[in-house]
């Protein structure tokens, strides 16, 4: 029986935060451990080029994202980890897919439409600061996915439309050549998965600036946690854990018994917000402390990361070459 292929990519646009870890990285690694599964996780560096225009910054973000995967437990012997830009077959497939992608489909992409809406609100022309990389983003993403005969793509809700577009485009190709040339991928969105709240209680996101970077130094992590917004209740007042940002984050790391203990301290009164934040910091630091050490040792010598990525890319290209051969034959350029 052939294995189920699970693939996902992360754009290197900065150090991943707690929301990325709990909402994407940790569940993807759990999925990679499932029976009969072949996992492929990559760094979507050309997707970042739409917004990251400084070479040293991009290089550093690539290392950071790779180091986060590795520190979070990705075993490169078992899981293929590579950089999108190191698999040029991606770009050949993109060119093929472009010919089968309706322009109207791209017009409907949420991310593109949101950029147009922002322009309209600001009284700019629709196309202001929108490049073809943003406009055709879903085609490159479809190529990432279809190149590896992917069955499942674990993603957040915001990415589901992109997976549907990959399905559409693959369907058009298959229909034209009257055979199942491309595997139709499915999104795997975990409905149970929490939306991790940020410092201000809204969804944690880089774009809101309310995020907790996954591996900042211990002192800095502590400082960031102290910034979590709470209400103005005094030390003695009983507090409600269910409406508290600190407790919401604590719950994501603590077991049921630990949650109960802290919830009782909230309700009893006599516990200030500072104490609740320290409890959160300690819990969080206990889980990510060992990973942070691994992360720091990788970042201290990024050549280790480069070697792992180079090996992953070489293996990825072997798989990719098979798909491209199949497509070249089918379309008539071979
Ligand atoms: P950001 O909003 O910070 O730019 P991304 O959109 O790059 O984050 O998200 C990358 C991945 O992390 C996606 O799969 C997304 O669903 C997941 N993710 C991001 N923020 C959160 C969050 N607050 N809670 C849960 N998952 C999240
Ligand atoms: N667009 C995804 C994001 O912003 C990143 C990505 C690029 C991706 N290519 C992919 C995710 C292929 C899954 C599969 O999060």
The per-residue pLDDT for range 205-251, each reduced to its tens digit, is 988 999 999 999 999 999 999 999 999 999 999 999 999 999 999 99
pLDDT at 98: 98
149, 5 in Cβ contact below 8 A?
A: yes
The percent of residues in the chain predicted with pLDDT above 90, rounded, is 93
Give the pLDDT score at 189. Answer: 87
| Rounded Cα–Cα distance for residues 189 and 68 (Å) | 21
Identify the residue with better confidence: 210 or 24: 210
In ligand 1, the atom with minimum distance to the C-alpha of 25 is: 12
Among 134, 162, 185, 189, which is best to mutate for testing ligand 2, by the most ligand atoms less than 8 A from CB? 162
Cα(223)–Cα(325) distance, integer angstroms: 53
In angstroms, how far is CA 28 from the centroid of its own chain? Answer: 9
pLDDT score at 195: 83
Q: Is the CB of 16 under 6 A from ligand 1?
A: no
- Sheet (strand 80-83) strand order: 80-83, 37-43, 4-10, 152-154, 186-188
Q: Which of 323, 7, 2 is nearest to 182 (CA)?
A: 323
Stretch among 93-97, 114-118, 156-160 having the lowest mean pLDDT: 156-160
The reported pLDDT for the residue numbered 207 is 87
According to DSSP, the β-strands at 4-10 and 80-83 are: unpaired
How large is the average pLDDT for residues 24-52?
A: 95
For the chain, the residue count is 334
CB 42 within 8 A of CB 9: yes
Q: What is the pLDDT of residue 23?
A: 84
Nearest CA to ligand 1 atom 1: 205
Q: Contact at 8 Å (CB) between 68 and 28? A: no
Picking from 135, 83, 57, the residue whose alpha carbon sits closest to that of residue 308 is: 83
Residue 136 CB–ligand 1 contact under 6 Å = no
Q: Check if the beta carbon of residue 70 is closer than 8 Å to that of residue 109.
A: no
pLDDT digits over 175-205, tens only? 999 999 999 999 998 776 678 999 999 999 9
- For residue 311, pLDDT over 90 is answered with yes
> In ligand 1, which atom is closest to the CA atom of 13?
7
Q: What is the pLDDT of residue 192?
A: 67
Q: Which residues line ligand 2 (CB under 6 A)?
A: 7-9, 11, 44, 47, 141, 144-145, 153, 155, 159, 162
Tell me the pairing of strands 80-83 and 37-43. Answer: parallel
| 315 sits in which H/E element | helix 303-331
User: Is the pLDDT score of 280 beyond 90?
Assistant: yes
- The H or E element containing residue 6 is strand 4-10
Q: Are 46 and 277 in contact (CB under 8 A)?
A: no
Is residue 20 within 6 Å of ligand 1 at its C-beta?
Answer: yes
Q: What are 36's strand-pairing partners?
A: none
């Amino acid at each position: 029986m052939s294995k189920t292929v699970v693939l996902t990519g992360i754009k290197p646009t900065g150090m991943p935060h707690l929301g990325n870890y709990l909402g994407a990285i940790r569940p993807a690694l759990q999925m990679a451990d499932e029976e009969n599964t072949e996992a492929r996780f990559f760094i979507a560096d050309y997707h970042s080029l739409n917004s990251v225009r400084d070479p040293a910054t991009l290089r550093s973000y690539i290392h950071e994202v790779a180091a986060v995967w590795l520190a979070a437990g990705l075993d490169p012997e078992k899981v293929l980890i590579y950089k999108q830009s190191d698999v040029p077959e991606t770009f050949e497939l993109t060119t093929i897919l472009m010919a089968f992608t309706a322009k109207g489909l791209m017009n409907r992409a949420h991310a593109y439409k949101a950029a147009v809406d922002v322009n309209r609100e600001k009284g700019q022309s629709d196309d202001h600061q929108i490049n073809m990389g943003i406009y055709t983003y879903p085609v490159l993403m479809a190529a990432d996915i279809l190149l590896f005969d992917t069955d499942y793509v674990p993603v957040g809700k915001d990415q589901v439309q992109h997976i549907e577009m990959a399905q559409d485009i693959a369907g058009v190709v298959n229909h034209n050549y009257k055979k199942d040339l491309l595997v139709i991928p499915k999104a795997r969105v975990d409905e149970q998965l929490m939306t991790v709240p940020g410092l201000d209680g809204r969804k944690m996101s880089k774009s809101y600036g309310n995020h907790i970077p996954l591996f900042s130094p211990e002192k800095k992590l502590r400082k960031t946690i102290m910034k979590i917004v709470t209400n103005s209740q005094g030390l003695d007042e009983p507090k409600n854990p269910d409406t508290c940002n600190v407790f919401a984050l604590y719950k994501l790391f603590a077991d049921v018994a630990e949650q109960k203990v802290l919830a009782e301290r909230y309700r009893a009164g006599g516990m200030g917000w500072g104490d609740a934040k320290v409890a959160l910091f300690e819990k969080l630091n206990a889980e990510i402390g060992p990973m942070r050490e691994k992360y720091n040792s990788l970042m201290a010598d990024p050549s280790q990361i480069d070697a792992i990525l180079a090996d992953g890319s070489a293996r990825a290209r072997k798989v990719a070459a098979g798909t491209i051969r199949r497509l070249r034959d089918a379309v008539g350029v071979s």
